[in-house]
Chain A
Amino acid sequence: MTQIWSNPDVQFVVWALVKIVVILFAMLGVVSYLIYAERKIAGHIQARTGPNRVGPLGLFQPIADVLKLFFKEEFMPAEANKVIFHIAPILAVVPALVTFSVVPFGPSPALVVTDVNVGLLLFLAMSSLGVYAITLGGWSSNNKYALLGGMRSSAQMISYELAMGLSTIGVLILAGSLSLSSIVAAQSHWWFVVFQPLAFIIFMLTAFAETNRAPFDLPEAEAELVAGFHTEYSSMKFGMFFLGEFMNVIAICAIAVTLFLGGWNGPGPPGLGMLWFVLKLSVLLFCFIWVRWTFPRLRYDQLMNLGWKVLLPAALLNIVLTAVAVYWGSHR
């Protein structure tokens, strides 16, 4: 028995599994209380108190919500495409979770599940997969609102994905690596947001669109499309779409912190690295909530124009400027 445990391969696998399970449960907790925070902040922005009945300050509200969703009656339209209808909610959660396998939470290698040398590509691949859940969920419901929501959303997400992918290239030129740990290490003196302000703005705007958050929440525009792609979903399947949306928000904010805001870099001993990471992540998450409850929704043609005619050329311009500046800086 002791021989098995001293085998380095077995230790590697077990250690990775421990980290994965810790991240999974931590994410569930964070998502629950992010939803609570969103409702509380939304309440105060609209001059009301938000949830305050379940437990002190309403702190047990997320638990009550999850239990309610878990025991709710579940039904599916008779004309739905059954297999795809069941798979779509799973697809909503999985890519968002897998992104966390490459996010460096702290300076020690123990605080990242695995340091893949193409970490950034893995993030972009996973954020591309997120569109499948919404498109397939909307299409398979066989409901007109769901279909329209799914179609709008897939067109929106692929349009903004281009600008998002291009906005990260400036960071790659500066860091010279696709590994997220190396990108964070390259920011030990200056955060990349200092050299890449345009890319940071483009990345954050596309992040709102990629996660279908207001002011880009066209797929679930409730005034025109009932609930968009998840109109026909109920019970825990609806819960999975909800969970997936918030996990995507956390994942994309974690990547924004890693790429532009110096990741775990901050004053003080390296032991404080994780604290800095969490602090920066919280600030971005607060901005996401703040924007949602402050700005009105865009019209669809405005949204597509912004993505294709403003953000895409701006991202290309940023690449050219960064390349010229880096070349000039290294050959003076």
Chain B
Amino acid sequence: MREYLPVLMFLAVAIAFAAGTIGLSSIIVPRRSNARKMSAYECGVEPVGNARARFSVKFYLVAVLFILFDIEAVFLYPWAVTFRQLGLVGLIEMMVFIVILLIGYLYLLKKRALEWD
């Protein structure tokens, strides 16, 4: 586990660098704000309503599809690394897996889940 320590150290250094730069800059920058400046930017006109509005449900659909496919992709990594040891059994097993994946994908296409217009 020793070799993971530098990754954590890099994480700490990166956070310290980013937070430190932003913090240092925010101490010295001028602040002359007023209500107009603090309002949301909408091309110079008065902001209409709130930005916490509803948005298209399509985005949720993409998120759910991503999770499904990504979990399936995760299964492919250990298989790919040990592929040469697994031999014919490994090849056939993964072909079956990919065919199942493909059936789900064709179902998505048929249901027009990936259409954006």
Q: Residues on A close to B: CB < 8 A?
A: 12-13, 16-17, 19-21, 24, 69-79, 86, 89-90, 93-94, 97-98, 100-102, 113-117, 121-122, 141-148, 151, 154-155, 158-159, 161-162, 165-166, 169-170, 172-173, 176-178, 226, 231-232, 235-237, 239-240, 300-301, 304-305, 308-309, 312-313, 316, 319-320, 323-324, 326-327, 330-331
Contact among B11, B25, B52, B87 with A74 in the assembled complex (CB-CB below 8 Å):
B25
Q: List B58-87 residues whose CB lies under 8 Å from chain A.
A: 58-59, 62-63, 66, 69-70, 73, 76-77, 80-84, 87
**Contact digits for B93-114, partner A, Cβ 8 Å, 1 yes 0 no:** 0110010011001000100001
A23 to B15 alpha-carbon distance, docked (Å):
14
Interface residue count for B (Cβ, 8 Å)? 67
Partner of A16, one of B6, B59, B84, B88: B6
Residue in B76, B105, B109 whose Cβ sees the most chain A Cβ within 10 Å = B76
A304 to chain B, nearest CB (A): 5
Q: What's the minimum C-beta distance from A226 to chain B, rounded to whole angstroms?
A: 7
Cβ contacts under 8 Å, B9 to chain A: 13, 16-17, 20
Beyond A166-B73, A176-B84, is A236–B39 a contact (Cβ under 8 Å)?
no
B81 touches A178 (CB 8 A): yes
Check B73 against A226 for contact (C-beta < 8 Å).
Answer: no
A165 to B80 alpha-carbon distance, docked (Å): 12
Contact of B22 among A240, A305, A308 (CB under 8 A): A240
Shortest beta-carbon distance from A144 to chain B in Å = 5
Contact string against A for B residues 4-23, beta-carbon threshold 8 Å, 1 for contact and 0 otherwise? 11110111011101110110
> Whole-angstrom distance between the alpha carbons of A180 and B114 in the complex?
34
Cβ of A90 to closest chain B Cβ, rounded Å: 4
Set of chain B residues within 8 Å of A326, measured between Cβ atoms: 83-84
Task: For the complex formed, measure the closest distance between the CB of B41 and the CB atoms of chain A, giving whole angstroms.
Answer: 6
Query: Taking the complex as formed, is B46 at the interface, i.e. its CB lies under 8 A from any CB of chain A?
Result: no
Count of A-B residue pairs with CB < 8 Å? 209
Given contacts A70-B25, A116-B7, A172-B81, contact A20 B59 (CB under 8 A): no
| Chain B positions near chain A (C-beta within 8 angstroms) | 2-7, 9-11, 13-15, 17-19, 21-22, 25-26, 28-33, 35, 37-43, 50-53, 55, 58-59, 62-63, 66, 69-70, 73, 76-77, 80-84, 87-88, 91, 94-95, 98, 101-102, 105, 109, 114-117
Count chain A CB atoms within 10 A of each CB in B7, B77, B114 and give the residue with the most: B7
Determine the residue in chain A with the shortest Cβ distance to B95. A320
Q: Could you jot down 12 A-B contacts, CB within 8 Å? A: A20-B9, A21-B13, A71-B25, A73-B29, A75-B38, A78-B38, A93-B18, A142-B40, A145-B42, A158-B63, A161-B70, A323-B91
Q: Residues of B contacting A176 with CB < 8 Å?
A: 81-84
The winner among A73, A90, A305 for most chain B CB atoms within 10 A is: A90
Chain B residue contacts of A169, Cβ below 8 A: 73, 76-77, 80
- B4–A90 CB distance below 8 A: no
Chain B CB count within 10 A is highest, among A79, A94, A316, for: A94
Query: Contact at A324–B4, with CB atoms within 8 Å?
Result: no
Q: What A residues does B73 contact at CB under 8 A?
A: 162, 165-166, 169
A113 near B62: Cβ-Cβ < 8 Å: no
Residues of A contacting B33 in the complex (Cβ-Cβ under 8 angstroms)? 75
Q: Report B-chain residues with C-beta under 8 Å of the C-beta of A97.
A: 10, 13-14, 17
A94→B14 CA distance, assembly (Å): 5
Alpha-carbon distance between A163 and B109 when the two chains are bound, in angstroms: 17
- A165→B72 CA distance, assembly (Å): 11
Q: Choose from B3, B30, B62 the contact partner of A73 (Cβ within 8 Å).
A: B30
A305→B116 contact, CB < 8 A? yes
Taking A79-B50, A165-B70, A240-B18 as known contacts, 16 extra A-B pairs with beta carbons closer than 8 A to each other, sorted by chain A number, are A17-B9, A70-B28, A71-B29, A78-B35, A98-B10, A113-B7, A147-B53, A147-B55, A158-B66, A165-B73, A176-B81, A312-B105, A313-B105, A319-B76, A323-B83, A327-B87
Taking CB as reference atom, which chain A residue is nearest B62? A155
